[in-house]
Structure 1
Amino acid sequence: MSTNDGTSRVVVGVDGSPASHAALRWALRHARRTGATVHAVGVYDLPGAEGWSAPAVDVLFDEEQARRSLSEELRAVLGPDDDVPLVHHVVRGNPARVLIDESDGAELLVVGSRGRGGFASLLLGSVSQQCAAHASCPVVIVRPETADGTPPAGDTP
Structure 2
Amino acid sequence: MAAVTQRALFLQLVLNQVGAPYRWGAKGALPDPKGPRLFDCSGLVTWCLHQVGGPDWRATHNTDRLWDACKPVASVAELLPGDLVLYGKAGDPDHVMVHVGAGVVVGASGGGRRTLTLEDAARTDAKVKPFARIAYRGDVLGFRRPPFVS
With normalisation by structure 1, the TM-score equals 0.29
Whose strand fraction is larger, Structure 1's or Structure 2's?
A: 2
Q: Return the index of the structure with the highest Cα Rg.
A: 1
